[in-house]
Every structure is written in structure tokens, then in C-alpha cells.
Amino acid sequence: MTLTIENPYSITYPKITAIGSESEKEIELIEQFDCVGGAMWAKTQYQKSPLVTSVRTVANTTRYILHTGNISLDLQGSVFPAGISGAQIKGDEIYISYLGLGGGGVGASICRASAGGVLRSEYTESGGGKTAGSMIVLAKNTRVLIGVDDTDTAEEGATWTLVHNIARVIETNNPEHQYLSHTIVQLYPVEFRTKNCVALVVEFATTSQASLIEQFSELLKAYTLSSETGMAVYVGFSPDALLPYGWRVKQGYVDHGDTRAQYLGDTAVPGLSTPMMGRGLVGAIAAIPFYTKFEEALELCG
């Protein structure tokens, strides 16, 4: 058998997703990659772009936080051979522009223009020593973080598996709901814990937040084994306002009644809602700000 390669000088990114901030001044660009070497090279080079404020690798994705704007890039071989030159929010769409030299131009053009999640694109010829680039159009997504705690009993169940399976079935049946991450959060080991005292937070990018939350809540109610299940939802670009509370719950006992009073009253955090308010609500809210912060999330305090 003779083996052939259809496109030997192009690698398609499986999916590119964009989340827009409420102010429309920031974008999180999430590139799912298949070739780890190419992704790490791009991460190193693209972070030099003035529009990039931070970059990190989460599982098989590279996540860029971008300021919106359009700029010129002073590209130089080896020194700064590729970057992001544009990031704009226009209505319910996000526009991202890339530019690169040589092999960096291949990645900046056809590799990203042909990615999953791209609604439309324009790109220039690439390869050899050419300067090439692309402009891709993505759906403007909203971040939805769902925290869950207390779904099992001493006899059966495991919260981390149930939450993952709920998230996966929702994504499988609803292409507008993208399941991005799953984070186990170690809490302070209170006396009434099942065993390990962890909560869960899952992250979605979606263009239809209401239907996502409704489906998740219905499935959680259907499959939880506990009468004390807590479910909390944060809709927004950054849940950092919840970090002080999250650390409190990791470091010691926090009363359920005090939690309800704090987050259901006048001091409620914008974007936070609590569809299920059993005793697990304490851990559910606490888990939210630790999404994708795996080392902090798993730290055992106290």
C-alpha cells in the first residue's frame, strides 16, 4: 500500500473559540491544537504581540487574553516571526487577524482559516519564505461556569464523574454549547463530607446561556443521589470576585446559612445565580473561581 498525504504543508486546528468580555474590550481566544510542537511555537511567538496580555496552555488548548484593536506587526525572522495583529468584537461576531513569515505564515493563514469553529475567513498564499496571514470570523461566545457539590452518598456516586457526563452529553447534543474544562476543587474537609470533600466546576462557551443552564439543572436534578445538592452558575468573563470566598471554603468551615445570606442578598455578585441551594451550595460557589487553576484548586489547606 502506498501512503499519501492530502495536504503535506498544512495542519488544520481542530477548533478555535472566542469569548467576548462584557465591556467588549477583551477577548479570550481558545485554540484547540492537534500538533503540540506547532502550538508551543505559536504560543512563544504570539505572546510578543502587543494585543496579547496573557497566554497559557490548558490541556490541548492555548488560551490568549487579547485587548481589542488592530495594529501593525514589525515581524522579523527568528526574533518575532508571527503574531496576532487584530482582535475586534462586532455584534455577535469576533474577528481575529494573524500574520507570519515563512512557516509561521502557514500557521497564520491556512492552518487557522480552515479550523473548526470558523464562520468565515480570508487568507493569503503561504509557504516558502512568504509573509502570509488570515482574518477569521468566530461566533461571540459567553463564558458559563457551573459549580456543583454534594451529589453522592456514602454508598454510591461520585460528583466529578456525574458533572463530566452531564457536560459531555449537553455538548454532544447542542453544538452551541462548548464544554471547555472540568476542574476538581479540594475543599476544607468538614465533618459531614462523604469522603474527600471536593467540589466541581465545569466551563462552557455558549451562544445560548439560558438553555445551557436549564439543561444542566434538569440533568443534575434527575441524577443526583443527594437531597443536599448545590448548583451555582456564573455567567461572565472573569469570576475573580469570588476568589476570596473560594479560599475561605478551602481553608475552613463556612456556614450554609451565611453563604445564602451573602450571595442571595444585596451583596450578590453580578452574574451569579444558584439554581440548587442544598448544603452543597457552599462548595459549588467556592469552586467557580478556581476553574482551570488546577494547582490552586487541588491544594489542601487547613
CATH classification at residue 274: 3.30.70.2200
Q: Where are the alpha helices (DSSP H) in 133-242?
A: 159-173, 209-223
Q: Where is the domain boundary, 113, 140, 167? A: 140
In a domain, 196, yes or no: yes
Q: Note whether 176 and 245 are same-domain residues.
A: yes
Euclidean distance between CA atoms 200 and 161, whole angstroms: 10
Band of the pLDDT at 58, cuts 50, 70, 90?
Answer: very high
| Model confidence, pTM | 0.95
pLDDT at 45: 97
Q: Note whether 156 and 293 are same-domain residues.
A: yes
pLDDT at 192: 56
* Residue given cell 482551570 in the structure block: 292
Domain containing 59 equals: 15-140
Euclidean distance between CA atoms 97 and 229, whole angstroms: 44
Euclidean distance between CA atoms 106 and 111, whole angstroms: 6
Q: Are 82 and 42 in contact (CB under 8 A)?
A: yes
Q: Note whether 132 and 183 are same-domain residues.
A: no
pLDDT at 264: 72
Mean pLDDT of 185-202: 79
Q: For the segment 221-254, what is each residue's pLDDT rounded down to a tens digit?
A: 999 999 999 999 999 999 999 999 999 999 988 8
Beta partners for 122?
135
Whether residue 124 has pLDDT greater than 60: yes
Whether residue 83 has pLDDT greater than 90: yes
Count the neighbouring beta carbons within 10 Å of the beta carbon of residue 14.
14
Mean pLDDT of 39-62: 97
Q: Are 15 and 136 in contact (CB under 8 A)?
A: no
Residue 259: is it exposed, middle or buried by C-beta count within 10 angstroms (0-12/13-18/19+)?
buried
Whether residue 53 has pLDDT greater than 80: yes
Number of structural domains found in the chain = 2
pLDDT at 254: 85
Supply angle C-alpha 20, 124, 117, rounded to 5: 35
Q: For the segment 132-154, what is each residue's pLDDT rounded down to a tens digit?
A: 999 999 999 999 999 999 998 76
